[in-house]
Amino acid sequence: MPLLRRIANLFFRSSVEQEIDAELRAHIEMRIEDSIAAGMSPEEARRDAMLRFGNPTITRERVTAMDMSLMLDGIYRDIRYALRQLWKAPGFALTAVLTLALGIGATSAIFTLFDQVLLRMLPVERPQELVRFEWRGSFSGSASSFGGDIGNYFSYPMYKDLRERNEVFAGVLAAMHASVGISWHDQAENEEAELVSGNYFQVLGLKPAAGRLFAASDETEKNANAVVVLSYDYWKTRFAASRDVVGQTLLISGHPFTIVGVAPENFHTAIGGYRPGIFVPVTMDSIAMPWMASRHNLDNHQSVWLTVAARLKPGVSIAQAEASLAPLWHSLRAEELKLYPNASPRFRERFLDKSSLQVKDDSTGFSPGRMELKTPLIILLSMAGLLMAMCALNVATLLLLRATARAREISMRYALGAKFRRIASQLLIEGCLLGLAGAAAGLALSPLVARILVRLITNSDPGSEPYSTALDMRVLLFTLALSFLVSLLFSAAPLFHFLRPDLANALRQNTGTASKGSQYFRKFAVGLQIALSILLLGGAGLFVRTLDNLRQQPVGFVTDHLLTFGLDPTGSGYGDDRTPEIVQAALDAVRRIPGIESAAATTDPELVGNSSSGGYALQGYKPAEDERMDFETPHVMPGYFATLHQPLLAGRGFTLADAKGGPKVAIVNDAFAKRYYGSAQNALGRSLSDSSDHPNFDISIVGVVGDVKHQDLRTDMGPAVYTPYLQQEHPGGVQIYARTAQKPETLEAALRRAMHDLDPKLVVDGLRTMDTQVDISTSNERALAVLAISFAVLAILLAAIGLYGVLAYSTQSRTREIGVRLALGAQRRLVILLVIREMAIIAAVSALIALPSTIALARLFRSQLYGVTVFDPVTLISALLLTTLVLILAAAVPARRAASVNPVEALRNE
């Protein structure tokens, strides 16, 4: 906090001391001058002056102490006075504090996330020394990516060369994100994992929470290091933080691994954007992730999959490191080029000469999630800033209102000799107290908002959010700083009011009046808020209608009474040969559960954003040049269409006879049949080939099914070719669907038990009802709708508070006028009109501005809308009506008060 102390000194201590010093010095020097003039020698004069003055240091201390204690005493008295003032006006204080709490709560919640995603450094030793590698240049081979550009990923041999042949790094680590099946005490589940190099924890400088962490000896050779380190959170939730687990064995993808230790508490990963439960040596890749085995990652230069980070040696800069790596990179690439014997000169050039290795700052960790979340978070934080500004504006309005009512009191204090500084500090202290109370309430609100936010924008299940939503020191400091700044701003508004008070006038009048300027400001602020709430309500309405339209979509199959889960036998140690029989056994077990009508499986799950496509050639059809003959290619088990209630338009579905050895068959969807054969009936009996180079047309179409929404609710599936799962060479994991007679939720436990009984190693992944899955698939739309609604509700609340403030003020200051009018026979109805007429005009003007702005803004978001135009009259009229309703409610109280003025009392009071 050195900065804060310097600022404090600037304001208090040092400036005070300097002034005292100057004053005392002036005194002594004047004495010396006089003595010299009277005939003393300069030395004598100085001695005499000091003698008369006494010890100047002690005097200065005493004077300073006097000033400081009096100043503190003054502040203390101001605080007590301010508390009393606020206590006397509970309605005002509560409104102001709640308004601030909303703004501060929302802003600090968004900052909680913003800080974690974009700002915070990794919780490791000296994070500023960490760097990350990225490469540029052409590439040919396979890549496995967790997100971001392919240049973020390296092959294992390349990583080892970089690690062992550089001179600028204290250590180089590698890591890869993975998802594995874990089985412990016959309980299996899917869990995020990180494959790491042996030196991973050493380079990061981490100490174990229990047991030991990996060392270089844990990365020796392929499949030789069956050890695992647990993350602290996983250890706590899954193993109850028991130290006994060290040394025990758990199954990863069906293979035994020994638990050697637990990672430290606050550390999650060097990659970021997810929270792995376990760490596994990188040499175990083909066991932990069997589907990667065919790539032979450990000695394959042409498979990139590792993120590589390093710690700089002390004193080495990023530029120096990059420069020193350039020749090494060039020679390594030159060696790799030998793998491409038929490379063209152009390829050589791009592969070698135009290739470069870049070193980037990695103090915050590599996070592909950061790239995706950056823009939404910046937008959210700006919106929160806008909201905060509106809150501050409202509180400023309320304070102004109050200041006007207090004009007499303050003018009186001026007249009694109070300085502007004293009055200013009084008002500032009142403002800061409000700000602090608002911050406290906002902080209570913030974690709740943050949790909803994290779930919305990362689309995670409760309990497994990738970001923390708890308050920490940084968020606390941010919130305090924010509330302090805002307090200063809104306290300043009434200050201007009193800068040059018109004493005589203010004292003479019984009720003060605000200056013209501040009245305009207030009305403008309320108008702006009304316009904003119409705008936000309109936007929210469009998003809600979009969501509604999507949910009303016919998807092509029946989503209710349908349970679904993922099952991947290869993740539990089964090979290609045994996988189909396990899938079949699993389906049989599911079908045996009472209450389940039918069950089937596919490799290409519905409505999860998944797409797996493949090329087919059609007999008798000549594709045009550049015509893409790629289709969605789900491999399904018999009974799939019957289970989903996807209509069979012609022919037959698959049977158990459609297996290996039997004639190859396919079922196409309506879109496919219509495009290539004109009708469903026409498609039957036609032949396809899954190889376009040497087509043998050995697959015959035996059926046609209806079209469905596949990836998400917005897009049609397009032409699709379904083939039997039992005829696949590499069958792989499946998504199982079960049609239930009763409420599907009630069968979840029985289903888990059935799978567990079949084989405890099997992981039932993401078991949920299809309706839930549909919800998840529209989660982005829902997030947008929820956020827009939240902001709209806040905006309209603020507008209502603002309107209330302005009307309450004008009623209060016109009590006398209203009394006179009533005494002269005015009708109460007219009096109400008098009070609200002006604001009604302002509201109407705001609406006139807001409606076209809503339409203009909605056009920008058109791609996010579905089945609704930006001119949607239902939405716009509802937004208007709702705003009007809330505003009428806000205006009702002051209007009633105006109408119920008792003329006799109003006039007597004057």
Partner 1 sequence: MAKNDLQGSLDLLVLKSLSQIGSMHGYGIVLHIQRASDELLNVEEGSLYPALHRMEQSGWLRSEWSLTETGRRAKYYRLTPAGRKQLDEAEKSFEQLVKGVRAILRYA
What does the block give as tokens for 89?
Answer: 């006006």
What is the SS3 assignment for 420?
Answer: helix
Q: Which residues pair with 360 in a beta bridge?
A: 132
CA distance 670 to 683: 9
In angstroms, give the least distance from the CB of 22 to partner 1: 7
Question: For the chain, how many helices (H) and strands (E)?
Answer: 28, 25
- Angle between helix 2-11 and helix 13-37 axes, rounded to 10 deg: 40
Binders of partner 1 among residues 449 to 508 (CB under 8 A) are none
Scan residues 785-824 and list those touching partner 1 (CB under 8 A): none
Q: Which of 59, 145, 300, 700 binds partner 1 (CB under 8 A)?
A: 59
Of 67 and 115, the one with the shorter C-beta distance to partner 1 is 67
Q: Does 66 bind partner 1 (CB under 8 A)?
A: yes
Helix (H, G, I), strand (E, B) or coil at 661: coil
Q: Which of 417, 463, 852, 873 binds partner 1 (CB under 8 A)?
A: 417
Using the contact rule CB under 8 A, the part of the chain among 50-58, 170-178, 207-215, 653-661 near partner 1 is 50-58
Asked if 52 is part of the footprint of partner 1 (rule: CB under 8 A), the reply reads: yes
Which residue carries 């889960």 as its tokens? 565
CB of 31 to partner 1, least distance (A): 6
DSSP 555: -
Judged by CB under 8 A, the stretch of 195-203, 414-422, 666-674, 779-787 that binds partner 1 is: 414-422
* 63 forms part of the interface with partner 1 (CB under 8 A): yes
Shortest approach of partner 1 to residue 419 CB, angstroms?
A: 8
CB of 45 to partner 1, least distance (A): 14
- When asked if residue 30 is in the footprint of partner 1 (CB under 8 A), the reply is yes
Residue with tokens 């050890």: 227
Secondary-structure breakdown of the chain: helix, strand, coil percentages, each rounded to the nearest 5: 55, 15, 30
Which one of residues 9, 14, 18, 55 is an interface residue with partner 1 (CB under 8 A)? 55
Closest to partner 1 by CB, 55 vs 827, is 55
Candidates 27-35, 100-108, 354-362, 849-857 — which segment interacts with partner 1 by CB under 8 A? 27-35
Binding flag, residue 22, partner 1 (CB under 8 A): yes
The smaller minimum CB distance to partner 1, of residues 419 and 753, is found at: 419
Closest by CA position to 234, among listed 182, 198, 272, 271: 182
In a 13 Å sphere around the CA of 150, the CA atoms on its Cβ side amount to 13
Burial 425-459 (b: 16+ CB within 10 A, else e): ebbbbbbbbbbbbbbbbbbebbbebbbbbbbbbbe
Does the protein bind partner 1 through residue 53 (CB under 8 A)?
yes
Of 59 and 223, the one with the shorter C-beta distance to partner 1 is 59
In angstroms, what CA-CA distances link 534 with 396, 528, 800, 852?
22, 10, 12, 11
SS3 for 766? strand
If one asks whether residue 58 binds partner 1 (CB under 8 A), the answer comes out as yes
In 10 A of CB 354, how many CB atoms? 11
**Nearest distance, CB of residue 893 and partner 1, angstroms:** 42
Q: If binding is defined by CB under 8 A, does position 15 make contact with partner 1?
A: no
Please report the sign of the dihedral spanned by the C-alpha atoms of residue 854, residue 859, residue 862, residue 863.
negative
Binding flag, residue 81, partner 1 (CB under 8 A): no
Segment contacting partner 1 by CB under 8 A, of 148-156, 280-288, 415-423, 779-787: 415-423
In the complex with partner 1, which residue's Cβ is closer, 24 or 642?
24
Contact status: 76 vs partner 1 (CB under 8 A): no
- Smallest distance, partner 1 to C-beta of residue 416, A: 8
Tell me: does residue 825 bind partner 1 (CB under 8 A): no
C-beta of 10: minimal distance to partner 1 in Å?
19
What is the smallest separation between the CB atom of 23 and partner 1, expressed in angstroms?
A: 5
Q: Which is nearer to partner 1, 507 or 849 (CB)?
A: 507
For residue 70, the minimal CB distance to partner 1 (Å) is 4
- The Cα 47–Cα 728 span in angstroms is 108
Answer yes or no whether residue 48 interacts with partner 1 by CB under 8 A.
no
Part of the chain binding partner 1 (CB under 8 A), chosen from 46-54, 178-186, 657-665, 876-884: 46-54
Of 59-67, 261-269, 300-308, 796-804: span binding partner 1 (CB under 8 A): 59-67
Q: Shortest CA distance to 789 belongs to which of 542, 547, 550, 537? A: 537
Pick one of 3, 38, 39, 54: the residue that binds partner 1 (CB under 8 A): 54
Write the CB contacts of 513 (distance below 8 Å, at least 6 apart in sequence).
404, 407, 813
Using rule CB under 8 A, residue 62 touches partner 1:
yes
Burial 250-281 (b: 16+ CB within 10 A, else e): bbbbbbebebbbbbbeebbbbbbbbbbbbbbb
Which residue number, 48 or 189, has a Cβ lying nearer to partner 1? 48
- Residue with the two structure tokens 């016919």: 554
Question: Considering the rule CB under 8 A, would residue 75 count as an interface residue with partner 1?
Answer: no
Measured from the CB atom, is 51 or 860 closer to partner 1? 51
Of 387 and 410, the one with the shorter C-beta distance to partner 1 is: 410
> Phi, psi (5° rounding) for residue 711?
-70, -50
Q: What is the SS3 assignment for 368?
A: helix
Among 19, 353, 630, 757, binds partner 1 (CB under 8 A): 19
Query: What b-and-e string marks burial along 35-63, b requiring 16 or more CB atoms within 10 Å of the CB?
Result: beeeebeeeebbeebeeeeeeeeeebeeb
Crossing angle of helices 156-164 and 318-337, in 10° steps, is 130
Which residue from 7, 10, 70, 874 is in contact with partner 1, where contact means CB under 8 A? 70
74 or 385: CB nearest partner 1: 74
Task: Find the helix or strand (DSSP H, E) in which 193 lies.
Answer: strand 187-196
Instruction: Report the distance separating Cα 482 and Cα 696, nearest Å.
Output: 71
Query: Any contact of residue 421 with partner 1 (CB under 8 A)?
Result: no
Q: Looking at beta carbons only, is 20 or 764 nearer to partner 1?
A: 20
User: CB of 179 within 8 A of CB of 159?
Assistant: no
Of 54 and 345, CB closest to partner 1 = 54
| DSSP annotation string for 6-64 | HHHHHHTHHHHHHHHHHHHHHHHHHHHHHHHHTT--HHHHHHHHHHHH--HHHHHHHHH
Q: How far is the CB of 526 from partner 1 (least distance, A)?
A: 40
851-887 exposure pattern, b = at least 16 Cβ within 10 A, e = fewer: beebbeebeeeeeebbebebebeebbebbbebbbebb
Site string for partner 1, 209-248 (x = CB under 8 A): ----------------------------------------
Using the CB atoms, write b or e for 832-846: b if 16+ within 10 Å. bebbbeebeebbeeb
Site residue total, partner 1 (CB under 8 A): 28
Interacting residue with partner 1 among 33, 361, 597, 630 (CB under 8 A): 33
Of the listed pieces 26-34, 217-225, 322-330, 894-902, which binds partner 1 according to CB under 8 A?
Answer: 26-34
How far is it, in rounded angstroms, from Cα 359 to Cα 367? 15
Taking contact as CB under 8 A, which single stretch among the options 5-13, 56-64, 360-368, 829-837 is the one that binds partner 1?
A: 56-64
Three-state secondary-structure class, residue 619 = coil
In the bound state with partner 1, the residue whose beta carbon lies nearer, of 19 and 149, is: 19
Contacting range for partner 1; rule: CB under 8 A; set: 30-38, 583-591, 667-675, 841-849: 30-38
Give, for 636, the enclosing helix (H) or strand (E): strand 635-636
Of the pair 29, 244, the CB lying nearest partner 1 is at 29
Q: Which residues bind partner 1 (CB under 8 A)?
A: 19-20, 22-24, 26-27, 29-31, 33, 52-56, 58-59, 62-63, 66-67, 70-71, 74, 416-418
